[in-house]
Structure 1
Amino acid sequence: MWLKTTAASLLVLATPVFAEEAAKARPSAAATTGGNAPDTLGTLLSLGAGLLAVIAIIYGCAWIIRRMNGMTGMNNNAIKVVSVMAIGARERIALIEVGGQQILLGITPSAIRTLQVFEEPVVDAGSGNSGDFARRLQSMIGKSWTAPNKE
């Protein structure tokens, strides 16, 4: 695929040269009429080659992305996101489960930090949204829950 992309790029770069040589080889309509008529065939060839190059680049990028996704591994069961809670506009706390342990992560736009590693599960990962994750987290940290109960 890399070879095809390189060949397409070289073709695109060489197309104006080919069009110019073809225009020099045949007598132009501008020379016979005395005016400056645009080279329609050269323009169409150049535009067509540019369009083909853009399409080839799009397919090449899609192929590369598909190949890179396969390299990340397909075992999605090793890490489970148990719960995520927004702290601010761009800050979050996430509870993930890895190898039987639950890990509390602080996520900001510039970093991900481990806040706590729990030896025993805080929240059952199979129960889905438990709704009381925030209350349990606050009780384990030692702060009181001040939001009204949702019942």
Structure 2
Amino acid sequence: MSPSASLLQTVFALGAVLALILACGWVLRRVQRPQAPGLQPLRLRGQLMVGPRERVVLVEIADQWIVAGVSAGHVRPLAVLPRPDEPPAPEAAPAPGPDFHALLARFRKQ
């Protein structure tokens, strides 16, 4: 077998493997269609970090809101509340911090 034929066979095999990988990805994307947001029975409404690995989450399930504490390997329900008629108002954006350029200029003057 000549070296050019061997190289051609290797390139063809590599192309076939790459085409197979792309085809599998396309099939998986078509099969695993996400549900519409209104049809999902469980929605994460918010979360708050209370430690490096701990947080409090608010989960909506049907007509209930569940407040749960989540830590490494544990999920503990803290409260079960009826869902309010109005969704919670979005949090106000935090006030912007001081301008870094202005702070740097002030420290240079000192």
TM-score tier by shorter-chain length is 0.5 to 0.7
Q: Structure 2 CA distance, aligned partners of 1:51 and 1:109?
A: 44
Distance of aligned partners of 1:75 and 1:55 in 2 relative to their CA distance in 1, 3 Å threshold: same
Name the one with the larger helix percent.
1
DSSP 3-state at the match of 1:127: coil
- After TM superposition, the score normalised by the length of structure 1 is 0.46
Q: Which amino acid aligns with 1:58?
A: L
Quote the residue 2:87 is aligned against: 126
CA contact (8 A) 1:83 1:94 kept: yes
Q: CA deviation at 1:110?
A: 3.5
Note the 1:96-115 alignment, pairs <5 A.
Answer: 96-111=59-74, 113-115=75-77
Q: Work out the CA distance in 2 between the residues paired with 1:85 and 1:124.
A: 22
Structure 2 unmatched ranges of 5 or more: 93-110
Bigger radius of gyration among the two: 1
Tell whether the 8 Å contact from 1:103 to 1:114 is kept in structure 2 after alignment.
no
**Matched residue, 1:54:** 18
Which digits, 9 at most, give the CA deviation of each residue in 1:25-75, with x for residues without a partner? xxx6xxxxxxxxxx11211221222122123113213312431x23x6x25
In the alignment, the residues of structure 1 paired with residue 78 and residue 58 of structure 2 have an alpha-carbon distance, to the nearest angstrom, of 9
Matched residues, number: 90
TM-score of the pair, normalised by structure 2: 0.59
- Structure 1: unaligned runs, 5 residues or longer: 1-22, 29-38, 132-151
